[in-house]
A and B are shown apart, each in its own frame.
Chain A
Amino acid sequence: MENAQLVGLARQATLRRQLDLIANNIANVNTNGFKAQTLLLEETRQPQASADSFLTPDRPISFVIDDANLYDFQPGQMMQTGNPTDLALDGKGWFVIQTAQGERFTRNGSFAINNEGRLVTRDGDTVLTDAGPLTLAPNEQTPTIAADGTISTNQGVRGKLRVVDFANPGELKKIGETLFEGQNPQPATLPRVVQGQIEKSNVRAVVELTRMIAVGRAYESVAKWMQDANDLRRNAIEKLATVN
């Protein structure tokens, strides 16, 4: 009898995490370069080692666990901003950002030029080029960035943006601030850099809302049958405990 309650609890725990994930996707519906996540659920059978040689063998029960989250790496919508330091990547690839903890990767191209003349993120971390950080002189005009990532100013060609890609983007790890952590970046093939545009969040609001409704209803129905199972047990105890 308790097994039904335990299976229900397992489902409710995963549903709560699913709602957390949906909430995070919806909260970031306007975050540039944000990539939506979904939860991958899996069946686990208990007991793992069963004693099935008895007359009444152990019967396995299926529980649910959240095994992994999948990233939706589809590109977000492109928005024209008119800001020359806003960059978007058309196709696969990641900008490389130098942080205090090492190289990090982002699709959020909302960059700025800081007081030292460096191209930086909104947190002040340097955007890397093929030759490392690029420092513009004070009298240089706002750079023009060509489709292949070449940065030029009125002083001529100054460098090329570093754009990388990963063999398995699923191994990337979100660390917040729209940055990802990843191993073994490889130079991306044919990334097209678009200046004056920004990649918006790829959260699809309708999908998230439908998922949210489904999660809410599933949670209620689990709560309902857990209640039913509980009532059944209470009835049984009351009836069996009655003498005469």
Chain B
Amino acid sequence: MKALHIAASGMMAQELNVELISNNIANMRTTGFKRQRADFQDLLYQNLRQVGSQASDAGNVLPTGVQIGSGVRTAATPRIMSQGTVESTEKELDIAIRGEGFFRILLPDGRTAYTRDGSFERDATGQIVTANGYALDPAITVPVNATGLTISPQGAVSAVVGTATTATVLGQIQIARFVNKTGLEAIGDNLYLETASSGAAQLANPGDEAYGQLLQNHLEIANVNPVSEISDLIAAQRAYEMNSRVIRAADEMMSATIQFK
């Protein structure tokens, strides 16, 4: 019976939905995390009576046909790239991006990754790196004797070095934008990679037209809204239960047929 396969596709879709929601909830407090949602589509339709076909010799045309679908499939799991809440952390190397853009990170294998997670640290040589120790690109090194590190909204990193009386500019943070940022590939560790569907990264200084500004001493937390996630979770669970009811109904109908003798 077709209903069995249709309901099974529905249960599988809701299972995936629950997986996505649980990943969103698990990353509720992950810096720079962007939530995902599941987008479903109906499957092909079987035409039992074709719309617009002739109904009689008098030339009447069927106004509607009989079409039965084959279930549901997951079309995409788009990432919602909206701005997350910005929290004050009072840590000088915590940077939030207000607006669009990603920090550029150099991975140890030479690839370039992108992130919204602005919780940076200094490594043993004074270079600005991510929490995992990957270098910010372009590299910026803060001398040991630097004090009063300041990052301007436009990305200029400056500090007072040694006994100098004025601040010197140590480097410039650049941020990247993508035509289709939802097309980025997440690789975990809060990092994304450029793909054919995201388009090439376009670098600029923060604050340039269409690029976001930086905010020092702040972090962008996940854009997960726990209330909507929980209600989505309940909806997904109920949808799963309904599909299992369909399977039971189809099973009962089959058993009514089998017991016929």
Interface residues of A (CB under 8 A from B): 12, 15-17, 19-24, 26-32, 34, 37, 39-40, 66-71, 81-83, 108, 110, 112-117, 122-123, 136, 138-142, 154, 168, 170-171, 173-178, 205, 208-209, 212-213, 215-216, 219-220, 223, 226-227, 230
Contact = CB atoms under 8 A, between A and B. Distances in A.
10 contacts: A23-B4, A24-B42, A66-B66, A110-B39, A113-B182, A171-B64, A173-B67, A174-B67, A219-B252, A223-B260
B63 interface: yes
A197 to B, nearest CB: 13
B45 A174 contact: yes
B72 to A, nearest CB: 4
Interface in B5-52: 6-7, 9-10, 13-14, 17, 37-45, 47-49, 51-52
Classify the interface of chain B: helix, strand, loop or mixed.
mixed
Contacts, number: 223
B139 to A, nearest CB: 26
A136 B78 contact: no
B39 A32 contact: yes
Contact of B69 (A40, A176, A215): A176
Q: What are the nearest 7 A-B pairs in CB distance?
A: A27-B10, A115-B199, A24-B69, A23-B6, A23-B3, A68-B64, A122-B76
Contact of A17 (B68, B250, B256, B260): B68
B167 interface: no
B2 interface: yes
Given A69-B66, A209-B242, 16 more contacts: A16-B3, A16-B253, A17-B48, A23-B71, A23-B250, A27-B72, A32-B40, A39-B66, A112-B180, A113-B179, A113-B182, A114-B180, A114-B183, A138-B202, A171-B64, A178-B42
A68 B249 contact: no
Main secondary structure of the interface of A (DSSP, over half): mixed
Interface residues on B, range: 35 or more
A9 B197 CA distance: 52
A15 B253 contact: yes
B187 interface: no
Given A68-B64, A176-B43, A226-B260, A27 B13 contact: yes
B65 interface: yes
